[in-house]
């Protein structure tokens, strides 16, 4: 039987409760989920990749099905490298869907072996994004309800 491997790509700067919700809900679907911290040259990150990786490993330390890794370049090339047949994406709203749909279609053209799977976030997490959390951090806001307890700033 072929192991069902999903890549959940993102910058996770920082990882939020919304990200964790998507991963936890996807666990019954896949044999392994690799949380891939991708280098996006268009995004200025607030936290070093080592810190983001450590948070993810700490959050999922009791779940051997979840792994964290860092990659550069095309997501589909990384999928090929790790033999992932699925790309997991969380969707909060129609704007996310429109953006993600275009990327998914391009990925399918470049690497037809990987299927993109969209999971709608639970309604409670719709307003939460890493960029909103970063703005809160920069402006001294309280982030504790938006990030897992392992994310200590």
Q: Is 43 a catalytic residue?
A: yes
Phi and psi (nearest 5°) for 30?
-120, 155
Q: Is 39 a catalytic residue?
A: no
pTM value is: 0.95
Strands 32-38 and 66-71: parallel
Lookup: tokens for 33: 């989920």
The Cα–Cα gap between 100 and 3 comes to 25
Q: Is 25 a catalytic residue?
A: no
Domain definitions of the chain by residue range: 5-138
**Which one of the listed residues 3, 4, 39, 43 is annotated catalytic?**
43
pLDDT tens-place string over residues 108-134: 999 999 999 999 999 999 999 999 999
Q: Is 92 a catalytic residue?
A: yes
Q: Which class is domain 5-138?
A: alpha beta
pLDDT tens-place string over residues 62-112: 999 999 999 999 999 999 999 999 999 999 999 999 999 999 999 999 999
């Amino acid at each position: 039987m072929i192991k069902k491997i999903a890549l959940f790509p993102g910058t996770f700067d920082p990882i939020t409760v919304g990200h964790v919700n998507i991963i936890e809900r996807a666990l019954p679907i896949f044999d392994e989920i690799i949380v891939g911290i991708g280098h996006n040259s268009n995004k200025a990150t607030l936290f070093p990749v080592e810190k983001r990786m450590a948070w993810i490993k700490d959050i999922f330390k009791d779940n051997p099905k979840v792994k964290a890794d860092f990659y550069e370049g095309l997501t589909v090339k990384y999928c090929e490298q790790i033999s992932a047949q699925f790309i997991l994406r969380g969707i909060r709203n129609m704007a996310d869907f429109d953006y993600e749909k275009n990327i998914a279609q391009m990925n399918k053209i470049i690497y037809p072996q990987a299927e993109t799977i969209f999971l709608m976030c639970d309604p409670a997490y719709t307003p939460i994004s890493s960029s909103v959390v970063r703005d809160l951090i920069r402006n001294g806001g309280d982030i504790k309800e938006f990030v897992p307890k392992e994310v200590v700033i």
